Amino acid sequence: MTTIYLLRHAETVFNATRVVQPADTPLSERGCRQAERLAARLATAGIRRIRTSDLPRARATAAALARTTGVPLELDPDLQERNYGAIRGTPYVELREDIFGPDYVPPAGESWATFHARVDRAWTRLVAEPGTGDEIIAVVTHGLVCWSILSRHVLVDPSPCTSMRFANTSVSIVDGPSPWRARLVDCTAHLDDALRADGARA
């Protein structure tokens, strides 16, 4: 059996202040503490591989897990958050359109179809790679990537995963092989109230 820990990155300043994030956004001070809590939670999970988005906020979150487990990072640009192009850096209160709407295409950014196709490539590679015995893999990525995978590739009981919102450092656990099933979705039990506050999705 293969188990995938699907993890959203820790908090950034732009998460907390609700700004559409530029690609190079680092973790905030609180985000660094969240990442350490996440790493402590998964320290004894038996993780053998860590695949991560190459954006700084995901890499820094994955690095905390790598320090705890001794497992090296595997970078995958296809696990990046949806590219919102020219509106990155814009506060949500200044947006004139619903950027999560089904027909919205950001200027100089990715359509939903392009984004989902990219996530599909990352997922296909991940589940097609042969393992040795029971594989336990951590995938550190972004909120919309978590939603894309869980809503389109995974059975989520008792109902499909319809929410695009995933908390910072949330843990979802998926078991396979196909049909892949989620046994936990969007869990932040490792955070106390001071660390659980969560901002914008992208």
Return the CATH architecture of domain 2-196.
Answer: 3-Layer(aba) Sandwich (3.40)
Q: What is the pLDDT of residues 144-195, one digit of tens each?
A: 999 999 999 999 987 777 777 899 999 999 999 889 999 999 999 999 877 7
Instruction: Report d(CA 149, CA 139) in Å as an integer.
Output: 11
Contacts of 182 (CB under 8 A, 6+ apart): 150, 154, 155, 156, 157, 161, 172, 173, 174, 175
Instruction: Report d(CA 173, CA 162) in Å as an integer.
Output: 17
pLDDT at 128: 87
Residues in the chain: 202
pLDDT at 138: 98
Q: What is the pLDDT of residues 88-144, one digit of tens each?
A: 999 999 999 999 999 999 999 999 999 999 999 999 999 987 665 679 999 999 999
Instruction: Report d(CA 144, CA 96) in Å as an integer.
Output: 20
pLDDT at 193: 75
Q: What is the pTM of this model?
A: 0.94
Q: Is 90 exposed, middle or buried (0-12, 13-18, 19+ CB in 10 A)?
A: middle
Instruction: Report d(CA 86, CA 23) in Å as an integer.
Output: 11
Q: What is the pLDDT of residues 10-59, one digit of tens each?
A: 999 999 999 999 999 999 999 999 999 999 999 999 999 999 999 999 99
Domain residue ranges of the chain, discontinuous segments joined by +: 2-196
pLDDT at 35: 97
| Amino acid of residue 130 | P
